[in-house]
Amino acid sequence: MAIVDLRSDTVTLPSPEMRQAMYMAELGDDVFGEDPTVNRLEELAAELMGKEAALFVVSGTMGNLVSLLTHCRRGDEAILGNLSHTVNYELGGAAALGGIQFMVLPNERNGMLKPAEVGAGIRSLEDIHYPRSRLVCLENTHSLCGGVVLSAVQTKSIADIAHRHGLALHLDGARIFNAAVALGVDVKELVEEADSVMFCLSKGLGAPVGSMVVGSAEFIQEARRMRKMVGGGMRQAGVIAAAGIFALETMTERLAEDHINARALGDGIAEIPGLSIDLETVQTNMVFFGLGREDMTQQDLVDALGERGVKILVLGGRLRAVTHYGIGAEDIQVVLGALREVMAG
């Protein structure tokens, strides 16, 4: 049985061309700064984001953790949304390893934080009872809000408040290229106001592993120390960095195809009795939808689809399907056919 796997865009496999680039990669010891392929990847990432420097890390979770550890010291406070990936899916690493406290504010439906609430949440340095506010974090695209995008104007509205009070802004941009493609803008515009940005190579861009952290040269120098501290120093890492270079040079524009497929899936789901979907949130490659059957649980639906060769997830109390490299328009019709069959039964 052919499998259509929509659990996440992390299930992508490298293309033959990407594998060849990995095979041919020039190598050295990256901890000594001597891997030329890693160095090229970091230079390329910094250039694409309009920042001074970049750091190659093994995952988005590590990238966010290293960024938080660099911005904050033990006992400091970071302001994040309650639906953010860092709060929900990163094991409390900032607290466990960095002694960093979170102030959690409600995310709006579009993934934003309310500027007034961010401003009110910043602690007064004059009161010795409070932790020091050091950092505000945003997410773009925002996963638990449905893969929705934040504009450069929205990001700037939060950055201005943070900077006015002496705080930094970190952007969890795991899928920032999806946001850029959806908005039709240069990715530099979306990250311009951020002091640090993490983005993934291993999701829609199709690399087998790896994420990038970008920021000022001073920030990245310290982040490199934090990466070493958490065990992220790699040696001949050019083997995987080559996949990242290939991804950044060839895979960003094709994300539009994933968005088209996600919209087709969302439109189809909207027509199936017993399923519900907010099509306004289908902006990139994620499709969240609900089930309105009392005789069927969400997991029942996931299991029934699995028996028909379709894989999706239950996440955040909803069903989620994610389009990605390797999924075509014909696969979307297979998924819709399976959904119709299950719901009719």
CA angle 80, 223, 131 (to 5 degrees): 40
Please state, in angstroms and rounded to a whole number, the distance separating the CA atoms of residues 166 and 124: 11
3-class SS of residue 257: helix
As given in the structure block, the two tokens for residue 222 are: 């310290």
CATH topology of domain 14-250: Aspartate Aminotransferase; domain 2 (3.40.640)
Please state, in angstroms and rounded to a whole number, the distance separating the CA atoms of residues 219 and 44: 17
pLDDT of 1 strictly over 80: no
pLDDT in tens, 198-237: 999 999 999 999 999 999 999 999 999 999 999 999 999 9
At 100 the pLDDT is 98
The correct answer on CATH 3.90.1150.10 for the domain covering 254-344 is yes
- The residues of the chain that CATH labels 3.40.640.10 are 14-250
Average pLDDT over residues 61-70: 98
Maximum separation of any 2 CA atoms in the chain, in Å? 65
Average pLDDT over residues 85-104: 97
CA angle 202, 177, 81 (to 5 degrees): 90
Average pLDDT over residues 303-323: 97
At 345 the pLDDT is 84
Q: What is the DSSP letter of 199?
A: E
3-class SS of residue 340: helix
Please state, in angstroms and rounded to a whole number, the distance separating the CA atoms of residues 110 and 88: 17
pLDDT of 179 strictly over 80: yes
Q: What is the DSSP letter of 129?
A: T
Are the C-beta atoms of residues 232 and 64 closer than 8 Å to each other? Answer: no
- Residues 6 or more apart whose Cβ sits within 8 Å of residue 197: 49, 51, 170, 171, 173, 176, 191, 213, 214, 215
- If residue 319 lies in a helix (H) or strand (E), which one and from where to where? strand 318-322
Confidence band for 2, pLDDT divided at 50, 70 and 90: confident
Please state, in angstroms and rounded to a whole number, the distance separating the CA atoms of residues 90 and 29: 29
pLDDT in tens, 105-132: 999 999 999 999 999 999 998 899 999 9
pLDDT in tens, 245-272: 999 999 999 999 999 999 999 999 999 9
Average pLDDT over residues 314-323: 96
pLDDT of 46 strictly over 80: yes
Sheet holding 275-276, edge to edge: 275-276, 286-291, 318-322, 313-315
At 270 the pLDDT is 98
- The residues of the chain that CATH labels 3.90.1150.10 are 254-344
Please state, in angstroms and rounded to a whole number, the distance separating the CA atoms of residues 179 and 327: 19
Are the C-beta atoms of residues 84 and 172 closer than 8 Å to each other? Answer: yes
